[in-house]
Amino acid sequence: MKDLSKKLEAIVIKYKEIELKLSNQSILDTSLLIKLNKEYAEITPLITKISDYEKCKQNIKDLKDLQNDPDILIRNEAEKELKKAYLSIEFYENNLLRLLIPKDFNDEKNSILEIRAGTGGDEASLFAADLFNMYQKYADFQKWKFEVLSISETGLKGIKEVVCNISGNNVFSRLKFESGVHRVQRIPLTETSGRVHTSAATVAVLPEAKEVDINIEDKDLRIDVFRSSGPGGQSVNTTDSAVRITHLPTGVVVSQQDEKSQHKNKAKAMKILRSRILDKENQIREQERANNRKSQVGSGDRSERIRTYNFPQGRISDHRINLTLYKLNEILEGSLDAIINPLIANDETKKIANLNNE
> Which of 27-31, 214-218, 274-278, 314-318 is most confident?
314-318
Confidence of residue 161 (pLDDT cuts 50, 70, 90): very high
pLDDT of res. 289: 53
Q: What pLDDT is attached to residue 184?
A: 95
With bands split at pLDDT 50, 70 and 90, how would you rate the model's confidence at 45? confident
How far is it, in rounded angstroms, from Cα 336 to Cα 207?
19
SS3 of the chain: helix, strand, coil, percent, to 5: 50, 20, 30
pLDDT of the residue at 300:
45
What is the rounded distance in angstroms from the CA atom of residue 318 to the CA atom of residue 8? 36
* Cα–Cα distance for residue pair 298/65, rounded to 1 Å: 48
CA atoms of 356 and 339, how far apart (whole Å)? 26
Predicted local distance difference test score (pLDDT) of residue 195:
87
The SS3 of residue 294 is helix
pLDDT digits (tens, 9 = 90+) for 276-335: 888 888 777 666 655 444 444 544 455 689 999 999 999 999 999 999 999 999 999 999
Other Cβ atoms less than 10 A from the Cβ of 332: the count is 17
Question: E strands along the chain, which residues?
Answer: 111-117, 145-153, 159-167, 180-186, 197-207, 221-226, 242-247, 252-256, 305-310, 315-318, 323-325
Q: What is the pLDDT of residues 71-85, one digit of tens each?
A: 899 989 999 999 999
What pLDDT does residue 159 have?
95
> What integer pLDDT is reported at residue 229 of this predicted model?
66
